[in-house]
């Protein structure tokens, strides 16, 4: 593994992110927290994009993670981030293990639209069963505790930022390991030639199923963190626009690598912060135009710029994770 010898770029980026709260105003910390949260869900979508598959429904797992937090607070009266994060990941992965039984059989537009369909079923359910879910009002989420410890009021935001950052580090490590594993390689090969994967003795359905479970877990974890970061859960967490956003960010950053989605998420949250300030009514159109530009002129996403700067030798050594 030539690529494992040097420090992977995202680890360096995460290290940079460590010092940010010391230097910048609070709102930037908040935006960064959101970006790191989304990053995990975007990675989940990017795992499939590498194999040429689009999911317009990963908001399903995102919402499951988020509502997991909501119900834990509502029924158990517990808001412990350290306990709920793994719980959300397991919930997401568990539901993915069920849904994935069906999804692993589909490719192309069917995969995209079936995912969309399933997530919209959850969305409809969240709206209709308002006596449980709070309907459009959603559920309020209070500040998290960490294994029973509540940080002092003024440190709440920074504490949660570091907690998210720590989890993001773990996620990056896990995904890197998966991408370097046979399942990771076969997932990438899926977009090129499915039949040859089977010739090599691997079951395509197994590869897709395992990837689906992992991606469900990642998106579930992202949902838990988003619920705490935003402090409010609404059915829109499961809406198609949320899934579309994940896909968009993956495309923006470049989905072949782990750092691409990170770059995409950071860029996206800042674009959104400014776009909602200066042209709130044209937000979707802005996204659409950026997407068109990337599809036509920059198929590798923002990551292309970094890869170009970093030079050819470096590109070869990291080639294992790039698309």
Partner 1 sequence: MATLTVILVDGSIFAAVLFLLSIGLTLIFGVLRILNIAHGSIYALGAYMASFLALRVLGVGASPYWSYAMLLAGGVIVGLIVGPVVERLFLRQVYGRPEAIQLLLTFALFLILDDLMKLIFGTQPLIVSRPYSLLGQFSLGRVTYPWYDVLLIAASVALGGLLVWVVRGTRFGKLIVSVITDREISMAIGIDVGRMYLVSFTVGALCAAVGGALIAPTIAVVPGVAVDVVVLSFAVIAIGGMGSLEGAAVGALIVGLVRAVAIQLFPELELVMIYLIMVLVLMAKPAGLWGEAEVRRI
276 binds partner 1 (CB under 8 A): no
Nearest distance, CB of residue 34 and partner 1, angstroms: 20
Nearest to 38 by CA among 306, 236, 322, 248: 248
125 binds partner 1 (CB under 8 A): yes
CB 52 within 8 A of CB 206: no
CB 70 within 8 A of CB 175: no
130 binds partner 1 (CB under 8 A): no
Beta-strand runs (E) in 71-161: 139-140
Tokens of 309: 């700067």
> What is residue 136's DSSP assignment?
G
272 binds partner 1 (CB under 8 A): no
98 binds partner 1 (CB under 8 A): no
Which H or E run contains 94? helix 81-103
Q: CA–CA separation, 277 vs 205, rounded Å?
A: 45
Nearest distance, CB of residue 109 and partner 1, angstroms: 4
69 binds partner 1 (CB under 8 A): no
Region for residue 254 given its phi and psi (left: phi exceeds 0; alpha: psi -120 to 50; beta: otherwise): left
Pattern of binders to partner 1 over 290-309, x per CB under 8 A? -xx--xx--x----------
54 binds partner 1 (CB under 8 A): yes
Among 98, 155, 282, 310, binds partner 1 (CB under 8 A): 282
Question: Which residues fall within 8 angstroms of residue 152, CB to CB, at 6 or more apart?
Answer: none
Nearest distance, CB of residue 241 and partner 1, angstroms: 8
Residues at the interface with partner 1 (CB under 8 A):
49, 52-54, 56, 102, 105-106, 108-110, 112-114, 116-118, 120-121, 124-125, 128, 191, 193-195, 240, 244, 247, 251, 281-285, 287-289, 291-292, 295-296, 299
């Amino acid at each position: 593994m030539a690529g494992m010898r040097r420090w992977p770029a995202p680890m360096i980026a995460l290290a940079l992110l460590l010092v940010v709260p010391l230097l910048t105003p609070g709102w930037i910390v908040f935006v960064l927290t959101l970006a790191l949260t989304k990053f995990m869900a975007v990675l989940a979508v990017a795992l499939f994009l590498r194999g040429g598959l689009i999911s317009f429904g990963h908001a399903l797992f995102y919402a499951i993670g988020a509502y997991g937090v909501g119900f834990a607070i509502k029924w158990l009266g517990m808001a412990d981030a350290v306990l709920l994060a793994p719980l959300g990941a397991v919930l997401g992965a568990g539901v993915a293990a069920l849904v994935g039984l069906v999804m692993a059989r589909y490719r192309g537009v069917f995969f995209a639209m079936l995912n969309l369909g399933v997530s919209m079923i959850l969305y409809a359910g969240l709206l209709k069963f308002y006596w449980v879910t709070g309907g459009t009002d959603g559920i309020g989420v209070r500040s998290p505790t960490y294994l029973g410890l509540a940080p002092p009021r003024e440190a709440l935001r920074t504490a949660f930022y570091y907690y998210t950052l720590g989890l993001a580090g773990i996620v990056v490590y896990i995904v890197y390991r998966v991408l370097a594993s046979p399942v990771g390689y076969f997932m990438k090969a899926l977009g090129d030639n499915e039949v040859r994967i089977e010739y090599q003795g691997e079951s395509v359905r197994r590869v897709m199923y395992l990837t689906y479970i992992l991606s469900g877990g990642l998106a579930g974890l992202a949902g838990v963190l988003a619920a705490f970061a935003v402090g409010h859960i609404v059915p829109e967490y499961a809406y198609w626009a949320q899934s579309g956003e994940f896909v968009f960010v993956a495309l923006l950053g470049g989905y072949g690598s782990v750092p691409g989605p990170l770059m995409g998420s950071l860029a996206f949250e800042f674009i959104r912060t400014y776009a909602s300030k200066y042209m709130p009514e044209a937000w979707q159109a802005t996204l659409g135009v950026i997407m068109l530009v990337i599809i036509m002129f920059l198929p590798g996403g923002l990551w292309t710029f970094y890869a170009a700067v970093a030079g050819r030798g470096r590109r070869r050594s990291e080639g294992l994770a790039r698309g």
